[in-house]
Amino acid sequence: MEAFANPVISLIADLGAMGFILYLVHRTTTHTIPRLADSYMQGEAKQRADFKDALRSQREDFLSALEREREVQNGQADRIIDAIREIKKQ
């Protein structure tokens, strides 16, 4: 960075405000924007992982609720079959 700082300072001294603006443009395009883009992508990846975890959890909850409902329905079906058999006997 030291080797780069001296030409930048020299440029600022020679060009004044225009040199400072050029330095800010260079700094923004080479450091700030890539850093912000990386931060954004990391945030997106974290949100995607959190969403997948939430979706997986909801799917597991739904499957367990569906299995409980299936057990209840099977028990009711057995009672209906027994009731039909009793009616046939009478």
DSSP string for 1-68: -HHHHHHHHHHHHHHTHHHHHHHHHHHIIIIIHHHHHHHHHHHHHHHHHHHHHHHHHHHHHHHHHHHH
- Cα 81 from chain centroid (whole Å): 49
| Residue type at position 40 | Y
The whole-angstrom separation of Cα 68 and Cα 49 is 29
With contact defined as beta carbons under 8 Å apart, do 55 and 62 qualify? no
Q: Is the pTM of this model over 0.85?
A: no
Mean pLDDT of 59-88: 88
Taking only the tens place, the pLDDT of each residue in 8-57 is 677 667 777 777 788 889 999 999 999 999 999 999 999 999 999 999 99
Res. 1: pLDDT tops 70: no
**pLDDT band at residue 2, thresholds of 50, 70 and 90?**
low
Encoding tokens for residue 49? 């992982």
Q: What is the pLDDT of residue 4?
A: 58
